[in-house]
């Protein structure tokens, strides 16, 4: 029956004001209004329909996304949307497309690495979509090792040009989004060569296609790299390959904020560190953290609503069976993920502030906080994407068999999300960047007091000696106890690694040998920051009936779940006793009971539309079974009772005359 809310009873149990929680989740009343408006705009526009996507072939998928992207751009202009609104519009359209690269990478690369003159020329062209650009860094042979890229940019003094060339097969640019069929320009990362000397990898603005007829320019070979994991998700995007055969570009198309090449061929370094050439990656990693909370919130919304509808076992005297959401095992798998979505949300808000601060500093050539911001963005990127990818898969399993149906929304979400663990810095490689920062910080403790996110390491000598004072399960509700446990474990792991590094012949050899331990120490460090960010968020004013209390429960769930998951670390580093670890787990069970009545209201607070969720299991009204049936009937195989191929391939088998020996 239409109009019935099958989750009404669940919603009535909420102990907090959902509307205010929506604002807390969005970040501010203004942010909530923008998201809400853009979500509804997309949900109510038939052009953005996406339920038929799984049935489309590759070419149709790609064209369908081009059509949606063109419509979105028209809306941006017709409705005079701000950049922020346009970003949310893209988000809710929910289809990887060339515009992701245009806005998340091409424009930021121009803005961050271009000179004032270059920005003046190129940024307006990009922002009005008169040119469409991508970020062409990765090659067939190298992705993580940026300094190992092989594409060359050789300066030709005579013509005042750079010659962009792909000298080997492995130097082919490979992966850039939009490159295969759409983009007219790219920031191509290449080794700069002047008079036979190498000057490291730099970014160059290269025009790829004619602005008249869209054909590739002479000397440039472009193509698609082929189908990717999952069907209807990343295959909407034309990730591409590019080869350059001595393609000439004017000298002023090298991005010259970090270093310049004069027309005489002199290489000049600005007063800025070369790492600024990596600034675009910092910017996108920060966005990826924010996207992690969105993707995880989507998965847990589906799994929580479905778990309230789904019933198995426990019926007595013909009464209703137990909602699977009431099983402690279901809660212990699901509620930490709900809590993680909130933790990542607040961590990303904080990271945004940190990034905004560093951006302002970079503009006035203050590079002092760049290493810390790089470590934070790299570490958070790794922590949040790994947990989100695992979380989406866990949500699929939490939905039992139906979770495996495309109509559950979870397989496509997983396929769409999982490359985030690889792109923009492979997750382990990113943790090793955090490790470099940690090793430096710990090694320097005698000379320099660490600040910001590493400040707790300044108390390392104390943290390696102190023991946990928790005596009861209730003691684990104290944020000071929680935070100290995380700091002590992280400090002990980092200090332990540094002590063992000293036993090796060289730091490089030690770093390579201990890299697994270093990656674990880095994760522990990042968890300190995420937990402390959540705790600090709760120290702020949070209006609304019961909102702060509900968030406090989630904060404790997040922290104690991590403590339970990594109790091996906490015990091995000697800060906790097994009894204290067990008390934490007791408290965790109590906390799950506190989350239970609020479960549906918490996921309602994400304010996700049914369009965005695209999940029969996660429908707002909980009308799962009739809609599952309806969705199944729409499968093309159900167009007729007798499918194509039955007469040709099945009936002959059924009608075969068997020899008696085979009977």
Going by the annotation, the residues of the binding site for FAD are 138, 177
CA distance 539 to 31: 21
Two tokens, residue 480: 């000071």
Instruction: State yes or no: residue 517 binds ligand FAD (CB under 6 A).
Output: no
Instruction: State yes or no: residue 606 binds ligand FAD (CB under 6 A).
Output: no
Residue 174 and residue 139 in contact, taking contact as beta carbons nearer than 8 Å: yes
Return the bridge partners of 174, or none. 241
Among 99, 102, 138, 152, binds ligand LOHRUJSQ (CB under 6 A): 138
CA distance 70 to 99: 10
Two tokens, residue 596: 């239970």
Least Å distance, CB 426 to ligand FAD, is 4
Closer to ligand FAD at the Cβ: 450 or 510?
Answer: 510
Closer to ligand FAD at the Cβ: 420 or 529?
Answer: 420
Instruction: State yes or no: residue 288 binds ligand LOHRUJSQ (CB under 6 A).
Output: yes
Closer to ligand LOHRUJSQ at the Cβ: 346 or 437?
Answer: 437
Instruction: State yes or no: residue 94 binds ligand LOHRUJSQ (CB under 6 A).
Output: no
Instruction: State yes or no: residue 155 binds ligand LOHRUJSQ (CB under 6 A).
Output: no
Least Å distance, CB 451 to ligand LOHRUJSQ, is 16
The 3-state DSSP class for residue 578 equals helix
Query: Which of 279-287, 345-353, 454-462, 632-640 is the region at the interface with ligand LOHRUJSQ (rule: CB under 6 A)?
Result: 279-287
Phi then psi for residue 311, to 5 deg, are -125, 140
- CA-nearest of 250, 249, 268 to 258 is 268
Two tokens, residue 211: 């602005």
Instruction: State yes or no: residue 374 binds ligand LOHRUJSQ (CB under 6 A).
Output: yes
Please give the DSSP secondary-structure letter assigned to residue 48.
Answer: G
Residue 466 and residue 480 in contact, taking contact as beta carbons nearer than 8 Å: no
Two tokens, residue 444: 């320097």
- CA-nearest of 547, 632, 570 to 26 is 547
Two tokens, residue 4: 């019935």
CA distance 470 to 463: 15
Return the bridge partners of 153, or none. 164, 192
The 3-state DSSP class for residue 220 equals strand
Instruction: State yes or no: residue 370 binds ligand LOHRUJSQ (CB under 6 A).
Output: yes
Instruction: State yes or no: residue 100 binds ligand LOHRUJSQ (CB under 6 A).
Output: yes
CA dihedral 344, 350, 355, 360 (to 10 degrees): 160
Closer to ligand FAD at the Cβ: 242 or 547?
Answer: 242
Among 112, 114, 177, 479, binds ligand LOHRUJSQ (CB under 6 A): 177
Least Å distance, CB 512 to ligand FAD, is 8
Among 135, 244, 344, 534, binds ligand FAD (CB under 6 A): 135
* Binding partner of 231, given ligand LOHRUJSQ, ligand FAD, none, CB within 5-8 angstroms per partner class: none
Instruction: State yes or no: residue 147 binds ligand LOHRUJSQ (CB under 6 A).
Output: yes
Instruction: State yes or no: residue 284 binds ligand LOHRUJSQ (CB under 6 A).
Output: yes
CA distance 89 to 97: 13
In a 10 Å sphere around its CB, with 0-12 CB exposed, 13-18 middle and 19+ buried, how is residue 199 labelled? middle
Among 135, 346, 558, 575, binds ligand LOHRUJSQ (CB under 6 A): 135
Instruction: State yes or no: residue 424 binds ligand LOHRUJSQ (CB under 6 A).
Output: yes
Query: Which of 85-93, 137-145, 261-269, 494-502 is the region at the interface with ligand FAD (rule: CB under 6 A)?
Result: 137-145
The 3-state DSSP class for residue 372 equals helix
Instruction: State yes or no: residue 648 binds ligand LOHRUJSQ (CB under 6 A).
Output: no
Residue with tokens 């949310």: 88
- CA-nearest of 232, 222, 152 to 188 is 152
Phi then psi for residue 190, to 5 deg, are -150, 160
Two tokens, residue 256: 């010259």
The total number of residues shown for the chain amounts to: 663
Return the bridge partners of 202, or none. 190
**Does residue 116 have an active-site annotation?**
no
Q: Which residue is nearest to ligand LOHRUJSQ (CB)?
A: 278
Least Å distance, CB 144 to ligand FAD, is 3
Among 48, 175, 486, 570, binds ligand FAD (CB under 6 A): 175
Residue 93 and residue 48 in contact, taking contact as beta carbons nearer than 8 Å: yes
* Binding partner of 282, given ligand LOHRUJSQ, ligand FAD, none, CB within 5-8 angstroms per partner class: ligand LOHRUJSQ
* Binding partner of 428, given ligand FAD, ligand LOHRUJSQ, none, CB within 5-8 angstroms per partner class: ligand FAD
Least Å distance, CB 334 to ligand LOHRUJSQ, is 26
Contact pattern for ligand FAD over residues 382 through 421, marking x by CB under 6 A: -------------------------------------x--
Which residues carry a binding-site annotation? Answer: 138, 177
Residue 346 and residue 661 in contact, taking contact as beta carbons nearer than 8 Å: no
* Binding partner of 467, given ligand FAD, ligand LOHRUJSQ, none, CB within 5-8 angstroms per partner class: none
Least Å distance, CB 393 to ligand FAD, is 17
Neighbours of 476 (CB within 10 A): 24
Closer to ligand FAD at the Cβ: 334 or 392?
Answer: 392
CA distance 5 to 11: 10
Instruction: State yes or no: residue 111 binds ligand LOHRUJSQ (CB under 6 A).
Output: no
Instruction: State yes or no: residue 423 binds ligand FAD (CB under 6 A).
Output: yes
Who's near 177: CB < 8 A, 6+ residues apart? Answer: 96, 98, 100, 101, 134, 135, 237, 238, 239, 240
Give just the sign of the alpha carbon dihedral 391, 397, 403, 404. Answer: positive
How far is Cα of residue 364 from the mean position of the Cα atoms in its chain?
29
Among 183, 259, 287, 527, binds ligand LOHRUJSQ (CB under 6 A): 287
Who's near 318: CB < 8 A, 6+ residues apart? Answer: none
- CA-nearest of 256, 144, 149, 129 to 205 is 256
Helix 328-363 vs helix 515-538: angle between axes, to the nearest 10 degrees?
90
In a 10 Å sphere around its CB, with 0-12 CB exposed, 13-18 middle and 19+ buried, how is residue 67 labelled? exposed
Instruction: State yes or no: residue 108 binds ligand FAD (CB under 6 A).
Output: no
Closer to ligand FAD at the Cβ: 20 or 233?
Answer: 233
Single out the catalytic residue among 424, 484, 487, 520.
424
Instruction: State yes or no: residue 327 binds ligand FAD (CB under 6 A).
Output: no
Instruction: State yes or no: residue 281 binds ligand LOHRUJSQ (CB under 6 A).
Output: yes
Active site residues: 424
Q: Which residues bind ligand FAD (CB under 6 A)?
A: 101, 134-138, 142-144, 175-177, 234, 239, 419, 422-426, 428-429, 432, 515
Q: Which residues bind ligand LOHRUJSQ (CB under 6 A)?
A: 100, 104, 135, 137-138, 143-147, 177, 275, 278, 281-282, 284, 287-288, 291, 370-371, 374, 423-425, 429, 433, 436
């Amino acid at each position: 029956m239409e109009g019935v809310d099958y989750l009404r009873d669940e919603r009535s149990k909420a102990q907090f004001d959902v509307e205010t929680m929506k604002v807390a989740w969005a970040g501010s009343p203004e942010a909530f209004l923008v998201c809400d408006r853009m979500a509804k705009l997309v949900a109510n526009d038939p052009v953005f329909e996406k339920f038929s996507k799984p049935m489309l072939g590759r070419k149709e998928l790609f064209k369908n996304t081009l059509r949606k992207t063109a419509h979105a751009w028209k809306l941006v202009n017709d409705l005079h949307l701000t950049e922020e609104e346009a970003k949310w519009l893209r988000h809710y359209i929910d289809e990887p497309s060339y515009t992701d690269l245009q806005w998340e990478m091409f424009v930021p690369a121009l803005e961050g690495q271009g000179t004032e003159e270059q920005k003046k020329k190129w940024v307006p062209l990009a922002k009005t979509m008169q040119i469409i650009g991508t970020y062409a860094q990765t090659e067939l042979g190298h992705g993580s090792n940026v300094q190992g890229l092989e594409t060359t940019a050789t300066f030709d003094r005579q013509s005042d040009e750079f010659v962009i060339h792909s000298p080997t097969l492995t130097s082919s640019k490979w992966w850039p989004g939009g490159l295969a069929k759409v983009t007219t320009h790219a920031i191509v990362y290449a080794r700069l060569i002047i008079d036979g000397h190498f000057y490291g990898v730099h970014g160059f603005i290269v025009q790829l296609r004619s602005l008249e007829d869209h054909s590739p320019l002479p000397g440039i070979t472009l193509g698609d790299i082929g189908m990717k994991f999952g069907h209807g998700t990343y295959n909407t995007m034309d990730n591409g390959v590019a080869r350059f055969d001595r393609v000439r570009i004017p000298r002023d198309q090298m991005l010259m904020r970090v270093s310049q090449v004069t027309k005489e061929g002199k290489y000049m370094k600005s007063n800025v560190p070369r790492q600024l050439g990596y600034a675009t990656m910092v910017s996108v990693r920060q966005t990826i953290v924010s996207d992690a909370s969105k993707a995880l919130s989507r998965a847990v919304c589906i799994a929580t609503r479905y778990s309230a509808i789904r019933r198995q076992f426990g019926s007595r005297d013909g009464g209703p069976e137990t909602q699977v959401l009431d099983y402690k095992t279901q809660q212990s798998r699901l509620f930490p993920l709900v809590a993680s979505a909130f933790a990542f949300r607040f961590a990303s808000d904080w990271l945004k502030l940190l990034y905004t601060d560093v951006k302002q500093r970079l503009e006035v050539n203050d590079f002092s906080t760049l290493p810390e911001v790089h470590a934070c963005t790299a570490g958070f990127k790794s922590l949040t994407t790994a947990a989100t990818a695992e979380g989406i898969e866990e949500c699929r399993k939490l939905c039992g068999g139906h979770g495996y149906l495309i109509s559950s929304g979870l397989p496509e979400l997983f396929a769409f999300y999982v490359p985030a663990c690889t792109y923009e810095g492979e997750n382990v490689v990113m943790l090793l960047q955090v490790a470099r920062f940690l090793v430096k910080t710990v090694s320097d403790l005698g000379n320099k007091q660490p600040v910001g996110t590493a400040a707790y390491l300044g108390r390392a000598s104390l943290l390696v000696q102190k023991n946990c004072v928790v005596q009861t399960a209730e003691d684990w509700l104290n944020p000071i106890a929680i935070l100290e446990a995380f700091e002590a474990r992280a400090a002990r792991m980092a200090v332990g690694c540094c002590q063992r590094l000293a036993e090796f012949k060289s730091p490089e050899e030690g770093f390579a040998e201990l890299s697994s331990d270093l990656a674990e120490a880095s994760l522990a460090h990042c968890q300190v920051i995420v937990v402390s960010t959540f705790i600090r968020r709760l120290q702020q004013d949070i209006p609304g009936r019961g909102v702060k209390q509900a968030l406090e429960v989630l904060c404790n769930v997040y922290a104690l779940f991590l403590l339970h998951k990594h109790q091996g670390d906490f015990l091995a580093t000697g800060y906790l006793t097994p009894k204290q670890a067990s008390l934490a787990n007791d408290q965790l069970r109590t906390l799950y009971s506190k989350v239970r009545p609020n479960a549906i209201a918490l996921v309602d607070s994400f304010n996700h539309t049914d369009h965005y969720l695209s999940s029969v299991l996660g429908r707002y009204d909980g009308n799962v079974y009739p809609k599952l049936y309806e969705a199944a009937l729409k499968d093309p195989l159900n167009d007729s009772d007798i499918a194509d191929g039955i007469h040709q391939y099945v009936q002959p088998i059924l009608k075969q005359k068997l020899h008696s020996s085979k009977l």
